[in-house]
Chain A
Amino acid sequence: MNTAPLLTLENVTVDFDGFKALTDVSLSLAPQDLRVLIGPNGAGKSTLCDTIIGRVRPTSGRILFKNQPITALPEQDIVRRGICRKFQTPGVLPSLSVMENLLVSARKNRAWWLAFSSSPPAAEQERAEEILETIGLTDRRETLAGSLAHGEKQWLEIGMVVATDAELLLLDEPTAGMGPQDTQRTADLILSLVGRHAVLVIDHDMSFVEALNGYTTVLHQGQILREGTVSEIRADAAVEAVYLGRAKEDVA
């Protein structure tokens, strides 16, 4: 490939007081890539996201976004460069309406002194309406986000992340707590985002991972175990041993 990578992790290590949550992780994502990250509980998947968005700072190693190091930037500046993340436990703003959640996310100029107007710019409003439609919450527009069902919260947060127009979206377990039907809808939603954004999806659910059918990275005990297509990963004995085998047991 001759396109420059959008995101590069170079030998990233995260050490929590002696416990290495990530060891020497190197990873590269192209623009408009769809990447799936899987791994057993505690593998370090969420920590990897945390490190990219600046919630956790790497002990060593570098993270480059569009060839610029972002490891030392304040969190909100990393987002402004174009990375936004959906949290594992839905992080919607509970006492704001669904629409307000989207409008807060869609703010283009985030300077606080521009906040003293009562209505958002028309372009932002339009974008929020559009996303409301995409995530299928049009009839929940004025509902307080805190009273949405779990799955609806997940969609709203995906919508919020999309509304920021970030080039790279990190989606941490977007289908947690969803039934098969909603999971399929979520997969369709994510696939519709690829092309406009690069997307990194973390998930446990193999049927979901197969539906996404993206290039897959397996993380195990803070290290990259394998990378490959879903079918390659499926067929890999080492992955089977640490992850898929266990997942099957869980299901059984």
Chain B
Amino acid sequence: MKPASLITILTLALGAAAPWLISSYELSLLGRFLAFSLVALGIMLTWGEGGILSLGQGVFFGLGGYALAMNLKLAGLNLANGDMPDFMQWSGVSALPGFWYPFANPWFSLVCVVLVPGIFAAAFSWLVFRRRIGGVYFALITQALALAFATLLVSEQAFTGGFNGLTDFSTFAGHDITSQGAARVIYLITFLLVVASYFFLRWLLGTRFGTMLRATRDGENRVRFLGHNPLPYKVVAFTLAGMLSGMGGALFTLHAGVISPALVGVVPSIEMVVWVAVGGRNVLWGAIAGTLLVNFAKDEISSALPSLWLYALGGLFILAVSFLPGGIAGLFTTPRMPRFFQRRRQEAAE
């Protein structure tokens, strides 16, 4: 067996066995970070392979998270009776707003987790890319979007729970989600979705679509003047990334028991890019590894010295960008490997 497939099998086995190997606190962290890594996989696809840097993936993460949280908030309420989520009562809302109603259905909510970010990402990217806006301008627009989204969530307190967001959940589709058994199930679902997304993207990047996406990143004009329309490749990639982010947001909400504007705004959106920069934006497992690594480090550092984290994050980003353009994964893959490693590997091969 090739060492690569051995590592894959070992990782899969360890990931699946994790609920019985680590403490429930560690499991809840791992689950959260795996949910984050879905976002990272999307960034790897758009930024790494498509050359599209989005500083607003938090928006799609939030759309997915809120779509599920709305259902969790309505669970157990008797809507016919005029029941409302607690925060609405405190805000003096007289009746449940119309757009909340369909979310009482858990399956509708689940579909929205993927569909709402997907449709929004598709429409947004189509509008922007059609006008041939890209690069730094695109990054700035997406950052503005993240800012606007978080601001809107805070200001519409009566509909969104405002600054505190949505929290205090107990059941989903009639199942208790607070027990330790439920935590394990939620972890396993997250793990499965990460694995499935990983293999889906691996397949996708191996098709001609992957080649066209990389071609568009390399030279959008060249691609256009070979008779291809680069627009659909970019829109499809951005849409998939949005859907992955939405899924990540919903799973995160389940693990953390909360979704709030502070988790979807400008700073979290930039953090998401840092995970991928550190892990390696051209390698799928790099995106996942980077997410886990940075977030476990964040957990350690911010519990020891809370004020230090943002500096550490900034430093990490600068280090990754200036010394490790291929991220951690770049150290292991041939094309971007620094010369030093290449020579060692050649020697080893001889």
Tell me which of A94, A113, A118 contacts B218 (CB under 8 A).
A94
Interchain CB contact under 8 A, A100 and B211: yes
Q: Is B180 an interface residue when CB atoms closer than 8 A count as contact?
A: no
Q: Are B227 and A112 in contact (CB under 8 A)?
A: no
> Are B215 and A96 neighbours in the complex by a CB distance under 8 Å?
yes
Interface-centre pick from A92, A93, A100, A164 (highest chain B CB count, 10 A): A93
Q: Are B215 and A104 in contact (CB under 8 A)?
A: yes
Contact of A103 among B207, B211, B335 (CB under 8 A): B211
Give every chain B residue within 8 A of A87 (Cβ-Cβ).
222, 225
Q: Which of A117, A144, A164 contacts B226 (CB 8 A)?
A: A164
Give Cα A85–Cα B225 distance, bound, in whole angstroms: 7
CB contacts (< 8 Å) of B209 on chain A: these are 112, 115-116
Q: Is B243 an interface residue (CB 8 A)?
A: no
Measured in the bound complex, the distance between the Cα atoms of B229 and A91 in whole Å is 17
Q: Which residues of A contact B223 (CB under 8 A)?
A: 93, 104
- Counting CB contacts under 8 A, is B206 at the interface? yes
Please encode chain B, from 188 to 220, with 1 for each CB lying within 8 Å of some chain A CB and 0 for all others. Answer: 000000000000000010111101101101110
* A80 at interface by CB-CB < 8 Å: yes
Q: Which one of A93, A110, A144 lies within 8 Å of B219 (CB-CB)? A: A93
Residues of B within 8 A of A76 (CB): 224-225, 227-229
Any B CB within 8 A of the CB of A24: no
B116 at the interface (CB under 8 A from A): no
Interface residues on B, range: 20 to 34
B15 in the interface (beta carbon within 8 A): no
Does A175 interact with chain B (Cβ within 8 Å)?
A: no
Q: Is B332 an interface residue, CB under 8 A from the partner?
A: no
Smallest Cβ distance from A36 to chain B, in angstroms? 21
Closest partner residue, chain A, to B228 (CB atom): A110
Interface size band for A:
20 to 34
| B214-A95 in contact (CB<8A) | yes
B233 within 8 A of partner (CB): yes
Known: A93-B215, A96-B214, A115-B208. A84 touches B228 (CB 8 A): no
- Tell me the residues in window 102-153 of chain A with beta carbons closer than 8 Å to chain B beta carbons: 103-105, 107, 110, 112-113, 115-118, 120, 144
B219: chain A residues at CB < 8 Å are 91-94
A104 to B236, CA, bound (A): 18
Quick check: A115 and B207 within 8 Å, CB to CB? Answer: yes
Instruction: Decide yes or no: A92 and B222 within 8 Å by CB, A104-B215, A118-B206, A120-B208 being known contacts.
Output: yes
Residues of A within 8 Å of B227, CB to CB, are: 76, 79-80, 84, 107, 110, 164
C-alpha gap A160/B225 in the complex (Å):
11
- Minimal Cβ-Cβ distance residue in B for A105: B226
The chain A residue sitting closest to B227, CB to CB, is A79
Chain A residue at minimal CB-CB distance from B204: A116
Tell me how far the C-beta of A51 lies from the nearest C-beta in chain B, rounded to whole angstroms: 13
B270 to chain A, nearest CB (A): 25
In the complex, which residue of chain A has the Cβ closest to the Cβ of B226? A105
Residues of the A chain whose Cβ atoms lie less than 8 Å from the Cβ of B214: 93, 95-96
Query: Bound complex: CA of A55 vs CA of B225, how far in Å?
Result: 9
B232 interfacial contact with A, CB 8 Å? yes
Task: Kindly state whether residue B91 has any CB partner on chain A within 8 Å.
Answer: no
A56–B204 CA distance with the chains assembled, in angstroms? 35
Asked whether, in the complex, the Cβ of A96 is within 8 Å of the Cβ of B225, the reply is no
A75 at the binding interface (Cβ < 8 Å): yes
Residues of A within 8 A of B222 (CB): 87, 91-93
Q: Which residue of A lies closest to B51 (CB)?
A: A95
A91-B222, A93-B218, A95-B218 given; A110·B229 CB < 8 A:
yes
CA gap between A96 and B236 in the complex, in Å = 20
- Residues of chain B lying within 8 A (CB to CB) of residue A53: 225
Interfacial chain A residues near B226, Cβ < 8 Å: 79, 84, 104-105, 160, 164
Interface centre among B222, B223, B227, B228 (most CB of A within 10 A): B227
Contact A112 B229 (CB under 8 A): yes
B221 within 8 A of A: yes
Chain A residues contacting B208 (CB-CB under 8 Å) are 103, 107, 115-118, 120
- Whether B218 and A96, one on each chain, are in contact in the complex, defined by CB atoms closer than 8 angstroms, is yes
Q: Mark A168-182, 1 if CB is under 8 A from B, else 0.
A: 000000000000000
Note all chain A residues with C-beta closer than 8 A to B217.
95
Given the complex, which residues of B lie within 8 Å of A120, measured CB to CB? 208
> Would A75 and B206 be within 8 Å (CB), given that A96-B214, A104-B211, A115-B212 are in contact?
no
Closest to A86 in B: B225
Task: Check A117–B225 contact: CB distance below 8 A.
Answer: no
14 contacts between A and B (CB under 8 A): A55-B225, A79-B227, A91-B221, A93-B218, A94-B218, A96-B214, A100-B215, A103-B211, A104-B223, A110-B227, A112-B229, A144-B335, A164-B226, A164-B227
Enumerate the 5 nearest inter-chain pairs by beta-carbon distance, A residue then B residue, closest first. Answer: A79-B227, A112-B232, A93-B218, A115-B209, A91-B222
